[in-house]
Each structure stands twice: as C-alpha cells, then as structure tokens.
Amino acid sequence: MKRVHIREEVCVTCRRCEVYCTVEHSLSRDIIKAYKKERPRLLARVRVQERGALSVPVLCRHCDEPSCVFACLTGALRKDPETGAVVLNREKCVGCWTCVLFCPHGAITPDPQRHIIAKCDLCSHLPVPACVANCPNEALIFAEEGVGA
C-alpha cells in the first residue's frame, strides 16, 4: 500500500503539515475559519516532535498488524481491506483512549473536547494527503514501500 514516508533529516519544523492537516479536516476547509472560528479547534493528525536539531513528523503508519485496531473497545477503528488504511468511524468512537495506549508510535491524539480521537486517515478523498502536498522539503513522501520518490 501507499504510505506517508518520513524523512526526518530534511524536516525543518515549519509545521505546515500540521496546519494543512487541520484545514483539510475542518468544516470550512478555509485556513482562517478553521483556526479562528471553528470551535473547539481541530487537532492536527500529524504532529511534529522537536528536540534540539531533531524534528520528526509523527503520523499513523497504517500498520499491517495494527494494535490500535485489535485494542479498540468499540470497533470504531478498522483496517480497510481494500486500501490498507486504518480508519476511524467517528460515530462509534467513545473516547476511551485504549488505542492511545496501544499505538506504539504515539500517533493517536485524544481530543477530550469532542470525546473522540484524532488520527491520520491518509486523506482518502485526495490523491495525495494534504500534509505531503504541502511539505516544502519533501520530508513527507507518499509512496509504495521501497519505491523511489
């Protein structure tokens, strides 16, 4: 399957991925409205973790053996048999945070205000995820495994 590959060595912590992820999943899909009007503010599903010169954008890996899916108490998380994407059914999620504990990458963010989680859905409605499309340095690449960028 196609995944978002992370090249931490060229990430410059500009956090555009976070911004465009937030906008893409907002109601208005408008940067000003998404940040200034929609409340509670959406949480980005990719988060750049920074320490010294190191900068790692972290987002769901859409694992082949997704422990979040196995752990989910409600059946809200499942791996799409066609695309391989690990997707959330927002209706079913109750915000129990079990998957947060079971994701070994810390890729799931609790959204306590909405009582559901925020996690990457690979922007399945777009040809290329918004974070990848807006990364100025190709620190995020959307590709099959082992295929050159």
Partner 1 sequence: MVPKYVIVGNSAGGIGAAEAIREVDSEGSICIISDEPFPVYSRPLISEFLAGERTLDGMLYRPRDFYQQNAIEALLGQKVAGIDFPGARVVLEGSESLPWERLLLATGGTPIVPNIAGRDKEGVFTFTTLEDARRMERFLEGKPRVVVIGGGLIGMSLASALVKRGVGVVMVELLDRVLGAVLDEPASRLVEGVLREAGIELITGQAVREITGKSFEEGRVGGVVLQDGRQLSCGLVVIAIGGAPRTELVKNSPVKVNRGIVVDRHMATSYPHVYACGDVAEGYDFVYGTGRLTPIWPNAYLGGRIAGYNMAGKQTLYPGGTAANSFKYFGYPLVSAGMVNPQDGCEVLVSRQDRSYRKVVLKDDHIVGLVFAGDIQQAGVAFGLMREGVNVRPFKDALVRDDFGLTFIPQGLRRAGLGVSPREMVP
Ligand X SMILES: Cc1cc2nc3c(=O)[nH]c(=O)nc-3n(C[C@H](O)[C@H](O)[C@H](O)COP(=O)(O)OP(=O)(O)OC[C@H]3O[C@@H](n4cnc5c(N)ncnc54)[C@H](O)[C@@H]3O)c2cc1C
- Residues of this chain that interact with partner 1 (CB under 8 A) are 3, 5-8, 49-51, 54, 56, 58, 61, 67, 70-71, 73-75, 91-92, 94-98, 100-110, 112, 115, 138, 141, 143, 145-149
Q: Is 103 helix (H, G, I), strand (E, B) or coil?
A: coil
Number of H helices, E strands in the chain: 5, 8
When CB distances are held under 5 to 8 angstroms depending on the partner's kind, the choice from partner 1, ligand X, ligand SF4, none that residue 117 binds is ligand SF4
Residue 52 and residue 67: Cα distance in Å, rounded? 30
Integer Cα distance of 62 and 83 in angstroms: 10
78-107 binders of ligand X (CB under 6 A):
96, 98
Full DSSP string of 13-57? S--HHHHHHHHHTSSS--HHHHHHTSSSPPPPSSEEEEETTEEEE
Residues 24-83 that bind ligand SF4 (CB under 6 A): 60-63, 66-68, 72-74, 76-77
Query: Contact positions toward ligand X, by CB under 6 A?
Result: 73, 96, 98
Query: Contact positions toward ligand SF4, by CB under 6 A?
Result: 60-63, 66-68, 72-74, 76-77, 86, 88, 93-99, 103, 105, 107-108, 117, 119
